[in-house]
Amino acid sequence: MPVASRPAPTFTETARRAQLIEAAIDTVNEVGYHRASLAEIARRAQVAKSAVLYYFPSKEALLLHVVEHVFTALDERLVVAVAAASGAVDRLRTYAETYIDYVDTHRSELTAGLEIVVSHRTPDGTPLYLTGAEEDTALLRRILGEGMEQGLFRRMPLRTAVDIVEAVLDASATTLQRDRHADLAPFRDQGVAVLMAGLAAPTRS
């Protein structure tokens, strides 16, 4: 029984917001964050500019909503998938494969979300990926930390390991930015293989 501090959204509202988020995603993908103006977004949604601001308090809020929308869903998917795996190695592989699968099946969302994360700045110039970065990577940090502790993964600063894994996984989206219809299978197979082999604790010889 949720306490509704603000009234439950109407059917139209839910639909419109979804439509606008979709339009924002399309716009960012087609013209880039830099040129994704309210006018462009409204044009794609086939509504007036002011209608966008009727459902979102500002253009910024809409774009941040896109980011939240995309990465919350991704994170939920990852949490569920990883929970079904046991052992750091298996969990990491599951994490990586699930991540790339998600990118594969949510191409436009992911490319737009990443472009916004990379390009957006708060009014004082701080990029988005600096705010709340800790919690965003919590799951990955846990897997990698655990694996290193158990001697399964190459020892290195957690931060570094996270950066490397994310760099490779996000590269799958970059591939799509280059060609939105690209086949992600080779990247999934080889990218994950490289990560697993690269991160595996080196064997004494």
Partner DNA sequence: CATGAATGAGCATTCATTCAT
Partner DNA sequence: AATGAATGAATGCTCATTCAT
The one-letter amino acid code at 127 reads: P
Instruction: Return the structure tokens found at 81.
Output: 């998938």
* Contact between 82 and 146 (Cβ < 8 Å): no
What radius of gyration do the chain's Cα atoms show? 19
User: Which of 1, 3, 5, 12 lies at the binding interface for DNA (CB under 7 A)?
Assistant: 12
- Taking the complex as a whole, the smallest distance from the CB of residue 14 to DNA amounts, in Å, to 8
User: Which of 22, 26, 51, 75 lies at the binding interface for DNA (CB under 7 A)?
Assistant: 51
Instruction: Return the structure tokens found at 184.
Output: 């992600």
53 near DNA, judged by CB under 7 A:
yes
C-alpha–C-alpha distance, residues 112 and 66, integer Å: 8
C-alpha–C-alpha distance, residues 145 and 158, integer Å: 6
User: Which of 32, 54, 86, 190 lies at the binding interface for DNA (CB under 7 A)?
Assistant: 54
Tell which residue, 73, 66, 179, 180, has the closest CA to residue 114. 66
Counting residues that bind a copy of itself (by CB under 8 A) gives 46
190 near DNA, judged by CB under 7 A:
no
* Contact between 144 and 92 (Cβ < 8 Å): yes
Q: Quick check: helix, strand or coil at residue 200?
A: strand
Residues 58-87 that bind DNA (CB under 7 A): 58-60
Residues 10-39 that bind a copy of itself (CB under 8 A): 30-35
- Taking the complex as a whole, the smallest distance from the CB of residue 113 to DNA amounts, in Å, to 18
Residues near DNA (CB under 7 A): 7, 10, 12-13, 16, 35-40, 47-51, 53-55, 58-60
Residues near a copy of itself (CB under 8 A): 30-35, 115, 118-121, 125, 127, 129-130, 133, 154, 156-157, 160-161, 163-164, 166-168, 170-171, 174-175, 177-178, 186-187, 189-191, 193-200, 202
